[in-house]
Amino acid sequence: MTASEHQAAHDAKLTELLERLFEEGAAADIDAVCGENPGVADELRALWATAQVAGLFAGTVLSDEAEDRVAMLGSASSVPLLVPFDDYELREEIGRGGMGVVYRAFQKSLARTVALKMIVRHELAGTAELARFRGEAESAARLEHPHIVPIYEVGETGGAEPRPFFTMRLIEGQTLAQKLADGPLDGTAAARLLSPICRAVDEAHSRGLVHRDLKPSNILIDGEGRPYVSDFGLAKQFGQSRDRQGAIDRGADRNPLLPDDRGSDAITHTGTILGTPSYMAPEQAVGRKEIGPAADVYSLGAMLYACLTGRPPFQAASPAETVLMLIDHDPPPPRLVNPQVDRDLELIALKALQKPIDLRYRSAAALADDLDAYLAHEPIEARSTHLYDVLSRAFRETHHAQVLENWGLLWMWHAVALLGLCLVTNALQLWDVRSRWPYLLIWTAGLGVWAAIFWTLRRRAGPVTFVERQIAHAWAGSMVCSTLLYLVEALLGLPVLTLSPVLGLVSGMVFLIKAAVLSGTFYMQAAALFAVAPIMALWPRMLGGPNFAITMFGVVSGVCFFFPGLKYWRQADR
């Protein structure tokens, strides 16, 4: 089978599997399908994640339009009259989203005004929407914090078609999104606003809940400037809290309207993307199965970024494009967008927005501590200069390092090919072959044939990513330099292999690029190859006897390729 036929078969397989997933809909199990088809698993996950983004937001728009059509069937006051309540009188609509509507309501028995949320038309809601709505009520009802909107009651309307609803404290004021519509906040105001929000989110985490949809429109600000976290519609249980587990052990009563904890995973499936692209964490964007508190820390950082600059870290023409920016790029520094941003707040925001989870704040409380330290004019953690932190940042993998799983075995073979090429070259040198043509032929033909084999094998594993193309260009440049050294020697009238020490410098430069793009551990390979160059130049004078400098380069460069290749080959095999 030719390369083009193989690629056509590969694309056809992907198309078939995607169609199968679409047909299965909510029941689609991306993990199972990828397990059955390991050869296309990575690409299938990426395509399915992008499709989920497009599908999610297309669905949201359609849902909003459907609700608008429902609202237009009568006057604004006619909708409440169709809903029978024993204890509540609906006064006016104060908010509407893709799933529910919020009313200002008067509770007759307690003579108080509340916010009442319900699904607009119960008959139009699917199972997932109902589960998510009920899950929101349950999640918020568990939490008691001065900066989380408290839930008062969960129930169902009367009548022939009862609908679930819940009531909560009515926050008179505006959302953070409305506040930011007037422009960015000054640093002190932003820190004072976000610090209690971080504490509230940390309280949710301590009770085993991750919000998963923190954004300015879900932060309510009352007339006195106090912020509140709202809308736990996408909240998910990630672990039993001490209080929750104690209640279960004591056999605490449950509201039969609310779903059991064990069914929380039924609301969202592996590979499904839920959240708002401009504020979601990268692990949400790629549909990772386990989403924990670190995702909320990222979203808090995104909100801090928006408070400082007036815009989210990533914003594009469509949700799918925003997700791609989120995955592949770093946000522009806040001071580049707004030069008035304080340096410490910029560092705090960028630390929370780190793509690697372990480089973010360890908790929402730690982020709040840094905001409080900024307000108190004390040193912040984000400016830490501890040696461990510096080394951790310098030598860790970037989010692009996963592409090396496609290269692991090929790098091991490349180490063997490179060492063999250097051994043949050194043999010619020891045999006192002074003509350049044998060396030029060996390096040109050897590298050219191996490069063709390498990329043929790589393409069979799936499409080459943008990052891989960048690394490939740097690598190709190093191979061109290796062969052109013979031409430069000829033009300068130098004996053959006089410029061979330059190979160490060129290869070190390529690994330096890999360190910046893929993994900081490649700094060690770069340093080793840079160190080889002067040793190769001094070999005859230092050691005398046969000159094995080119063999030494082959050994060092082979090791630099072989062991990372072995690591990522094993990683991909798992």
Residue owning tokens 């790589």: 458
Query: What residues form DSSP beta bridges with 209?
Result: 237
The strand pair at 219-222 and 164-169 is best described as unpaired
* Nearest Cα residue to 299 out of 406, 196, 201, 226: 201
Distance from C-alpha of 202 to C-alpha of 199, rounded to nearest angstrom? 5
Collapsed DSSP state (helix, strand, coil) of residue 118:
strand
DSSP string, 72-111: TTS-TTHHHHTS--SSEEEEEEEEE-SSEEEEEEEETTTT
The CA distances from residue 468 to 214, 390, 476, 524, in Å, are: 33, 27, 12, 21
Max intra-chain CA distance, the chain: 104
| Residue 291: HSE in the Cβ half-sphere, 13 Å Cα cutoff | 33
- CA dist list (Å): 204 to 110, 240, 330, 403: 28, 11, 28, 35
210: helix, coil or strand? strand
- Please list the active-site residues: 213
Taken in order 482, 484, 487, 492, is the CA torsion positive or negative? negative
Length of the chain measured in residues:
574
Q: What is the DSSP letter of 207?
A: T
In Å, how far are 230, 407, 497 from 88, measured between CA atoms?
A: 21, 64, 90
